[in-house]
Chain A
Amino acid sequence: MYCFLRFSILLVGLIVSAGSYAVNAAQPLTTADDLGPKVEQPIEFPHDRHAGDAAKGGMQINCMYCHTYARRSIVAGIPPLQKCIGCHQNIESVRETPRIKKLFEYWEAKKAVPWKKVHDLPDFVRFNHERHIQRFVFAQNKPVQEACGYCHGDVKTMTVARRQKPLSMGWCVSCHQKDHPVDATSTKTTHGPNDCWQCHK
């Protein structure tokens, strides 16, 4: 009899404690790195060469030099071919490398490069680059690479970009729930919007 009661009390206790742990312990999702698949691009674009640290042979070009729409559109955008050519027609040193040759082939055919999407959100999700860049880069004065890196990872060390973060809903929410200072100097904080329609369309 008492054995039975003891057993059931134990069981209930176990379930309760496991449940409460589970409820509170889902946090690791927030920091988990979740490497996406390797994406074959028409041209193997070396992000490390363009944006990487000078010490490692990079040119430290600002992300938004090429992904110029990020600050004013919901998408960051791929630069028009014109922009690649604008620099590369003056860079003789790499003019004959296979990748650049391919680039000029596209240019001469007046054909846009068919870049593949690396960070592809589901179609029912509306992610606004502009708001994030405005908030972190312009209001909080965070370095561009850091701000972009919140979601895109350490792109400056990659050649072809590859997804590093899970980009799952919980992952988004984890950041939206954090308190972020409203600008670089203020101690006032707010957190990201919580409305469903902020991100779901």
Chain B
Amino acid sequence: MIENSFNRRGFLKVLGWGGATVALSGCGNTSVEDGREFVTSYVQTADYIIPSIGTYFNSTCAQCDAGCGIMGRVREGRVLKLEGNPKSSINNGKMCGLGQAGVQAHYNPDRIREPLLRNGDKGEAIPWGKALELINEKIGGVKAENIAFLTGGVSGHVKALLKNYLDALGSGHHYVYEAVAPSIMRAANRKTYGVEMPRLRLDKAKVVVSFGADFLGAWISPVHFSQQYARFRKADNGERGVLVQVESKMTLTGANADRWLAIRPGTEGILALGLINALAAAGLSVPGDVAAVVREYTTDRVSKDTGVSAEHIGRLAALLKERSPSLVIAGSAAEGYAHGSQNATAIALLNQVLGNVGKTVEAPSSIPFPQMAPSTGNRFALQSLNDNMAQDKVKVLFSYGVNPVFTAPASMKLKENLKKVPFKVVFAHYMDETALEADLVLPLNSALEDWATVMPEYVAEGAQLNIQQPLMEKLYPGTLGMGDILLALLKQRRPDEYKGYEDFYSYLRSAMVSNKGALGGSTTDDDTFWDATLSHGVVKLVSTPVNMSGNVSAKGLVVPGPFAEDSAYPFHLIPAVSASLRDGRNANEPWLQESPDPLTTIVWDSWVEMHPKTAAKLGIVEGDIVEVASRSGAIKAQVYVFTGIHPDVISVPLGYGHEAMGRYAKGVGVNAFKILDPVFDKETGELAMHETRVKVSKAGRRVVIVKDEGPAGGNQMGRKIAVRVSSNKVNLSEEV
């Protein structure tokens, strides 16, 4: 596709951009203005380069960890828009809004443009050579075990290089931290199935019961699940899948459910066991040990504990029995408690009793290159790093791809502990909260101007390696890719091994080409293989499904009863992960701030969701500013009242409330991470995100909520606008 590197670089050069002329003078009564603008012209071109016709280059989306393949439309050297890469089995040419905003991460005006060294309170621009030398110097001065590397989920060649670098340093302290990762689910899955990420086949299921898994919004790989969901809803045989969502705060997935069951927080496991009992009573064969465990979970008791009506439990059990296969998913809402692992096990047990394992819960594939396999993160990692920092065990800290100062609960005192680390290097795109604490800030290339490979954790079938390639030339000469930085650092340590690689690109190319046999290119020559790889954007890996055990033992499964009332802190706080802001890393992309939250339609601010009953009890109306106080802290935000939430629960979205980062993120909303209580899952030691108990009090002020919804709210006022009918009234198989 690209004949030589000169062509490629030449093409990706920004051309025809004579200042603001391209499209900005839109609507004036502009007459013909000859001789002012420049014509797009090249020194050399390739055949496929035709001015004013966009060319598509495949790459990988870096907006979240799902690893969707993207296709960037490049015109005159500028990347204009991203589309989904049809060749990627994750997203098959589709995308989400978050991914669309990738261009805004790239063109963001608040990106750091050169390395900054702390000088008092200010950052002082220094050249890269000096920065890397400084790192070398600082590392030389400390013991290897005092060096810590904190990253988000990493995979592919960057991960391999990182590992090599850590090996070269002799330190194994690599903390992989993800603020909102499904890490309890991974642990629970490992326990029940022997794998962390079994493949969920919504498209094969006739009934999906999701315990708080927002798979259409922000859970694992939403674009992929959305596509499966579409097939699930519109099966080829015309039988429409039924989605039942059980959760205490309505997620986007809950909003699309045929039945949304508001459950008392933390009692998901009880409902799962109760369903098994009801299924057993309805004649489903249930193993004896399981039956013994669930016997006490009678429908009446479960209904009383969970708040889900007996009628719905009965109907759900009947539905599950009648329509098989089904799929039961345990999501973050079920797992965010101190007994989260037990909840997950109970839900996995339900899946197993229903015989879904192997049918709709499938084994993932093995990954042929374990050194590139995704290292998944959790909150436990941050906890242990924090402990080490508190004990002055960390002398040099590298931070990449995470923003722990923003995402750590205040109770961790992370910011104070960071101050104990003498030298902190932060690789960042923005001057975010963590970068502000750094001694050395190294600016990274955006995902659209960088080379990398990404191995997604969740792939539909087999395993694949995604290529991330530059879609245009670097906007700022002062930024570098993570691969390039690691390579430069490695050259300091192991010059002989790495001196052959001019830059990360040449390293990547030679690493890929030398393994082309395993990457499906055994019969082609190097250049053809490489060109094909870049043009596809994804490489299918030769892999086989791993063995997956599906035998959950009911032994020792104890699901605690519902929470006792807490008169001082009467409400459960559910920190909601929004589909666009996630853990806050995308908060500086204005499209995401301006795209209304699907359920509340609120923009540009945080809010406190509350059930009308709760609001009435507290004498609160929409727009009241309330103080939400936990034992660890308090935040103030506007109240939004709606019926998609359990009356015992209030919910605040995550990702807002940045104190730094950039013009679009700073000062917008409040940071709900801060007030999370330090309660941990008993089995995995993970932070139990939904355990925080809060009290709510009016703070006096009232504002008009900025949202898209009008005064009619979600009421159609008798007009026929959005129509809903019962599914037995139509026959989907007759439709096109």
List A residues at the B interface (Cβ < 8 Å). 36-40, 69, 72-75, 77-82, 106-107, 110-124, 163, 166-168
- CB of B27 within 8 A of CB of A114, answer no
- CB of B31 within 8 A of CB of A122, answer yes
Looking across the interface, which residue of chain A has its beta carbon closest to that of B37? A117
Please judge, given known A-B contacts A73-B52, A74-B52, A112-B15, whether A123 and B42 are in contact too, CB under 8 Å: no
- CB of A116 within 8 A of CB of B52, answer no
- Could you tell me the distance between the alpha carbons of A140 and B90 in the complex, rounded to whole angstroms? 49
- CB of B30 within 8 A of CB of A82, answer no
- CB of A77 within 8 A of CB of B31, answer no
Further pairs besides A75-B51, A120-B33: 15, Cβ < 8 Å = A36-B32, A36-B34, A38-B35, A39-B34, A69-B52, A73-B53, A79-B41, A80-B45, A81-B41, A112-B42, A112-B43, A114-B38, A116-B38, A122-B28, A168-B31
| B728 at the A interface (CB under 8 A) | no
Q: Which residues of A contact B15 (CB under 8 A)?
A: 112
Please judge, given known A-B contacts A69-B51, A75-B52, whether A167 and B32 are in contact too, CB under 8 Å: yes
Looking across the interface, which residue of chain B has its beta carbon closest to that of A113? B41
Q: Mark B273-311, 1 if CB is under 8 A from A, else 0.
A: 000000000000000000000000000000000000000
Q: Which residues of A contact B33 (CB under 8 A)?
A: 120, 122
Q: Which residues of B contact A117 (CB under 8 A)?
A: 34-39
The answer, among A72, A74, A78, for a CB contact under 8 Å with B41, is A78
Q: Which residues of B contact A106 (CB under 8 A)?
A: 43
7 contacts between A and B (CB under 8 A): A69-B50, A81-B43, A82-B42, A82-B44, A116-B34, A124-B30, A168-B32
- CB of B30 within 8 A of CB of A81, answer no
Q: Which residues of B contact A82 (CB under 8 A)?
A: 42-45
- Could you tell me the distance between the alpha carbons of A144 and B203 in the complex, rounded to whole angstroms? 57
Greatest chain A CB density within 10 A among B31, B40, B43 is at B43
| B25 at the A interface (CB under 8 A) | yes
Q: Which residues of B contact A77 (CB under 8 A)?
A: 39-41, 50-51
Looking across the interface, which residue of chain A has its beta carbon closest to that of B49? A80
Chain A to chain B: the 9 pairs with minimum beta-carbon distance, closest first: A39-B35, A122-B30, A78-B41, A80-B42, A82-B44, A81-B43, A80-B45, A117-B37, A112-B41
Shortest B523–chain A CB gap in Å is: 34
| B500 at the A interface (CB under 8 A) | no
| B718 at the A interface (CB under 8 A) | no
Looking across the interface, which residue of chain B has its beta carbon closest to that of A76? B51
Please judge, given known A-B contacts A37-B35, A117-B36, A123-B26, whether A111 and B43 are in contact too, CB under 8 Å: yes
- CB of A80 within 8 A of CB of B27, answer no
- CB of B34 within 8 A of CB of A107, answer no
Q: Which residues of A contact B52 (CB under 8 A)?
A: 69, 73-75
Q: Which residues of A contact B568 (CB under 8 A)?
A: none
- CB of A124 within 8 A of CB of B26, answer yes
Shortest B646–chain A CB gap in Å is: 50
Q: Mark B5-29, 1 if CB is under 8 A from A, else 0.
A: 0000000000100000011111110
Shortest A189–chain B CB gap in Å is: 29
Shortest B16–chain A CB gap in Å is: 10
Q: Which residues of B contact A37 (CB under 8 A)?
A: 34-35
List B residues at the A interface (Cβ < 8 Å). 15, 22-28, 30-45, 50-53
- Could you tell me the distance between the alpha carbons of A69 and B38 in the complex, rounded to whole angstroms? 17
Looking across the interface, which residue of chain A has its beta carbon closest to that of B46? A80
- Could you tell me the distance between the alpha carbons of A40 and B36 in the complex, rounded to whole angstroms? 10
Please judge, given known A-B contacts A69-B50, A115-B38, A123-B25, whether A163 and B32 are in contact too, CB under 8 Å: yes
- Could you tell me the distance between the alpha carbons of A120 and B33 in the complex, rounded to whole angstroms? 6
- CB of B50 within 8 A of CB of A123, answer no
Shortest B45–chain A CB gap in Å is: 5
The answer, among B24, B25, B34, B43, for a CB contact under 8 Å with A80, is B43
Q: Which residues of A contact B51 (CB under 8 A)?
A: 69, 73, 75, 77
Q: Which residues of B contact A81 (CB under 8 A)?
A: 41-44
- CB of B40 within 8 A of CB of A120, answer no
- Could you tell me the distance between the alpha carbons of A36 and B39 in the complex, rounded to whole angstroms? 17
- CB of A78 within 8 A of CB of B30, answer no
- Could you tell me the distance between the alpha carbons of A36 and B31 in the complex, rounded to whole angstroms? 12
- Could you tell me the distance between the alpha carbons of A116 and B42 in the complex, rounded to whole angstroms? 14
Shortest B719–chain A CB gap in Å is: 31
Q: Which residues of B contact A124 (CB under 8 A)?
A: 26-27, 30
- CB of A110 within 8 A of CB of B43, answer yes
- Could you tell me the distance between the alpha carbons of A37 and B33 in the complex, rounded to whole angstroms? 9
Looking across the interface, which residue of chain B has its beta carbon closest to that of A79? B41
Looking across the interface, which residue of chain A has its beta carbon closest to that of B31? A122
- Could you tell me the distance between the alpha carbons of A36 and B33 in the complex, rounded to whole angstroms? 9
Looking across the interface, which residue of chain A has its beta carbon closest to that of B44? A82
- Could you tell me the distance between the alpha carbons of A148 and B39 in the complex, rounded to whole angstroms? 18
Shortest B34–chain A CB gap in Å is: 5
- Could you tell me the distance between the alpha carbons of A141 and B115 in the complex, rounded to whole angstroms? 61
- CB of A118 within 8 A of CB of B34, answer yes
Q: Which residues of A contact B34 (CB under 8 A)?
A: 36-37, 39, 116-120, 163
- Could you tell me the distance between the alpha carbons of A72 and B51 in the complex, rounded to whole angstroms? 10
- Could you tell me the distance between the alpha carbons of A116 and B32 in the complex, rounded to whole angstroms? 14
- Could you tell me the distance between the alpha carbons of A124 and B30 in the complex, rounded to whole angstroms? 9
Shortest A111–chain B CB gap in Å is: 7
Shortest B35–chain A CB gap in Å is: 4
Shortest B29–chain A CB gap in Å is: 8
Looking across the interface, which residue of chain B has its beta carbon closest to that of A119? B34
Q: Which residues of A contact B50 (CB under 8 A)?
A: 69, 72-73, 77
Shortest B240–chain A CB gap in Å is: 39
Shortest B49–chain A CB gap in Å is: 9
- Could you tell me the distance between the alpha carbons of A157 and B26 in the complex, rounded to whole angstroms? 34
Greatest chain A CB density within 10 A among B22, B24, B31 is at B31
Q: Which residues of B contact A114 (CB under 8 A)?
A: 38, 41
